[in-house]
């Protein structure tokens, strides 16, 4: 078995911002063995290994002096089914949204609120992706990862992954773990999550009083399509900033000046603020400088209008962060990985 290596390859097709930087070396891995070959080849050449999935949570600011490995392993399977609870497994290279649609076709609930999120299955636990009241941790049943230090495979359960808001052990230890496949605990009769955001209102407006998981998925796809630009049309990485957690006292100080502050109780004396509201209130919505900008309909989304560099997009993000801190005393954290 050999690994097909390409030199000096443009990564523009492999990141959703459409930033045109080059990889010193590039390869795709369709199996565990090819992943190991890539690790060996990177070590032989004295290069770091940079695994990527769909490139939808990535901002590339310069050429990449690494062996960039695109995870291309595919496969979906049902491991156990007792008629109610179903354990499914997906290979890391599976595109996320088609995997969600596959689960719905099997008559399963649990992933519908995570519809239309870009990226791959293997990248999903890294960020503990979430939307409309559901996160990966809520349906997670385990994963298999390769320890890049020892070369051994390791199985991870829920507690070991240290999932938090858009965070996990795998994000905290970059360069250590390479996720190969992920397992999910789904249901044939699970309760639907309809109370976060405009999901229920959307279904009611469509006259759907007793929705199925497929109905919820369809409604969420429609909502996301209206709110977020398609990366195939306008380069972006979805939400660029995390919704910040702040002390209740700070939230109340902001609310005293801005009665329409969008916030959610987070427990333990904290409140989650809507980063998009902060950015829009500060006047950044629709801002454009050259080809780097803030989306005209969604202030949480930075966009590449064509030829913006990663450095230009990052500079814009830093300006927004500084402005929000000065105006509101709130630190915004960037969600995508910056390279």
- Active site residues per annotation: 166, 239, 335
Which residue in the block uniquely carries the two structure tokens 């519809």? 115
CA proximity to 327, closest of 293, 289, 281: 281
Question: How many helices (H) does the chain have, and how many strands (E)?
Answer: 9, 20
C-alpha to C-alpha distances, 126 to 122, 136, 225, 234, 238, nearest whole angstrom = 8, 10, 24, 25, 16
Residues forming beta bridges with residue 77, ordered by sequence position: 89
Residues forming beta bridges with residue 156, ordered by sequence position: 143
Q: What is the DSSP letter of 191?
A: P
Using alpha carbons only, give the angle 163, 337, 123 rounded to the nearest 5 degrees.
Answer: 50
Residues forming beta bridges with residue 177, ordered by sequence position: 147
CA proximity to 165, closest of 90, 71, 275: 275
Tell me the HSE value of 105 on the side-chain side, using a 13 A CA sphere.
9
For strands 235-239 and 263-267, give the pairing. unpaired
For strands 130-131 and 140-147, give the pairing. unpaired
Angle, helix 96-105 to helix 213-227, in steps of 10 degrees: 160
218 Cβ neighbours under 8 A, 6+ residues apart = none
- Token pair of 121 as six digits: 């299955």
């Amino acid at each position: 078995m050999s690994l097909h290596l390409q030199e000096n390859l443009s990564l523009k097709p492999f990141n959703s911002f459409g930033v045109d930087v080059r990889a010193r070396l590039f390869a795709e891995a369709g199996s565990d063995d090819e992943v190991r070959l890539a690790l060996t080849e990177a070590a032989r050449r004295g290069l770091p290994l940079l695994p990527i999935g769909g490139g939808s949570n990535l901002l590339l600011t310069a050429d990449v002096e690494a062996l960039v490995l695109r995870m291309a392993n595919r496969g979906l399977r049902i491991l156990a089914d007792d008629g109610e609870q179903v354990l499914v497994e997906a290979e890391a290279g599976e595109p996320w949204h088609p995997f969600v649609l596959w689960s719905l076709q099997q008559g399963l609930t649990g992933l519908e609120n995570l519809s239309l999120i870009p990226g791959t299955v293997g990248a999903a636990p890294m960020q503990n992706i979430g939307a409309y009241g559901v996160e990966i941790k809520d349906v997670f049943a385990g994963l298999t990862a390769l320890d890049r230090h020892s070369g051994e495979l390791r199985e991870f359960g829920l507690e070991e992954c240290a999932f938090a808001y858009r965070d996990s052990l795998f994000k905290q230890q970059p360069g250590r773990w390479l996720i190969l496949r992920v397992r999910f605990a789904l249901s044939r009769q699970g309760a639907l999550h309809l109370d976060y955001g405009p999901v229920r209102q959307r279904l009611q407006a469509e006259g759907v009083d007793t929705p199925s998981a497929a109905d919820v998925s369809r409604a969420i796809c429609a909502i996301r399509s209206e709110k977020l630009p398609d990366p195939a049309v306008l380069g972006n990485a979805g939400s660029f900033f995390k919704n910040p957690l702040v002390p209740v006292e700070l939230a109340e100080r902001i609310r005293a000046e801005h009665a329409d502050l969008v916030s959610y109780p987070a427990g333990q004396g904290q409140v989650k603020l809507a980063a998009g509201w902060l950015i829009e209130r500060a006047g950044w919505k629709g801002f454009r400088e050259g080809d780097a900008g803030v989306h005209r309909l969604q202030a949480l989304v930075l966009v590449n209008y064509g030829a913006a560099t990663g450095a230009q997009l990052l500079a814009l993000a830093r300006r927004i962060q500084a402005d929000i801190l000065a105006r509101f005393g709130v630190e915004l954290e960037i969600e995508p990985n910056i390279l």
